[in-house]
Amino acid sequence: MVKLLIATHNPGKIEEYEELLAGLPLELTYPAQEGLDIEVAETGASFAENARLKAAAYARASGLVALADDSGLEVDALGGEPGIHSARYAGTGASDKERYRLLLEKLREVPWEERTARFRCVIAVATPGGQVHTAEGICEGIIAFAPKGEHGFGYDPVFYLQEYGKTMADLPPETKNKISHRARAVQRAREILEEIQGKLGFPRR
């Protein structure tokens, strides 16, 4: 079994990747398991740039093929905010609840039809030799007036999906993992992983 390093410390993302990458002949490993404690400055101007920076840094540090993502929420009425700053929208160390409450406050006077938004995820897969491939996934929705739902993390409680009549946090995880921005990016990334595995082979531990 070959190893793929998932470059995240976020328990919500770890749980999702365990589900999304099921079925591939991979042994998933994480920074803590590999003894890695590195900080990668997200200095990119886009999700793709930040994902590439993280994946390349972890691949170099570990000697493994590494997968990293950068993802966030883009709200049209706010000119694309919070965008690449989604995780730090309410300041460093703020909770998910503090972030989406700030978002709702900024949208307090915005009518329903103007609350369109999307989740965007870019996944980067990097080899220790320096090759980096990216895949993107998008999920369109509307920012709800109030949070609802107990599943998921981040902005999921306020991201409403019209076709389901529910917020992302109100969907069962198995449904979210079919239609989310991360799920759609992973579908494309799976092809990249299969190609790398077939042509280059994964470093083994």
Per residue in 133-169, pLDDT (tens digit) is 999 999 999 999 999 999 989 999 999 999 999 999 9
The DSSP secondary-structure symbol of 7 reads -
Tell whether 134 is covered by a domain: yes
Distance of alpha carbon 38 from alpha carbon 174, whole angstroms: 32
The whole-number pLDDT of residue 200 equals 53
106 assigned to some structural domain: yes
The total number of structural domains in the chain stands at 1
Domain assignment of residue 178, yes or no: yes
Classify strands 159-161 and 166-167 as parallel, antiparallel or unpaired. Answer: antiparallel
Confirm whether 76 is a catalytic residue.
no
* pLDDT exceeds cutoff 80 at 204: no
The pTM score is 0.88
| pLDDT of the residue at 47 | 97
Give the distance, in angstroms, between the CA of residue 146 and the centroid of all CA atoms in the same chain.
23
Domain membership flag for residue 110:
yes
Which pLDDT band holds residue 3 (cuts at 50, 70, 90)? confident
Phi, psi at 136, each rounded to 5°? -120, 145
The answer as to whether 171 is a domain residue is yes
Distance CA 125, CA 144 (A): 33
Please state which of the ranges 125-129, 152-156, 199-203 shows the lowest mean pLDDT: 199-203
Q: φ, ψ for residue 44 (rounded to 5)?
A: -70, 160
pLDDT 10s digits, 29-49: 999 999 998 889 888 999 999
pLDDT at 180: 93
Residue 203 CB-density burial (10 A; 0-12 exposed, 13-18 middle, 19+ buried): middle
Distance, in Å, from the CA atom of 97 to the CA atom of 85, rounded to the nearest integer, reads 15
pLDDT computed for residue 120 by the predictor:
97
Give the integer Cα–Cα distance in Å for 96 and 88. Answer: 10
Note down the domain range covering 99. Answer: 2-199
Looking at the predicted structure, is the pLDDT value of residue 199 above 50? yes
- What does the pLDDT read at residue 205? 41
pLDDT number for residue 203: 47
Contacts of 194 (CB under 8 A, 6+ apart): 24
Give me 57's structure tokens: 């840094």
Q: How confident is the model at residue 25 (pLDDT cuts 50, 70, 90)?
A: confident
In a domain, 204, yes or no: no
Return d(Cα 142, Cα 65) in angstroms, integer: 36
Q: What is the mean pLDDT of residues 10-14?
A: 86
Q: How far is CA 159 from CA 101, 132, 176, 182, in A?
A: 12, 31, 12, 14
Question: Does a structural domain hold residue 63?
Answer: yes
Residue 175 has pLDDT above 80, yes or no: yes
Per-residue pLDDT of 46-99, as tens digits, reads: 999 999 999 999 999 999 999 999 999 999 999 999 999 999 999 989 999 999
Number of H helices, E strands in the chain: 5, 7
The SS3 assignment for 53 reads helix
Q: Which of the following is catalytic: 70, 96, 156, 170?
A: 70
Measured CA to CA, the distance from residue 151 to residue 130 in angstroms comes to 37
pLDDT number for residue 195: 81
Do the Cβ atoms of 66 and 40 come closer than 8 Å?
no
Q: CATH number of the domain that 116 lies in?
A: 3.90.950.10
Answer whether residue 43 is part of any domain. yes
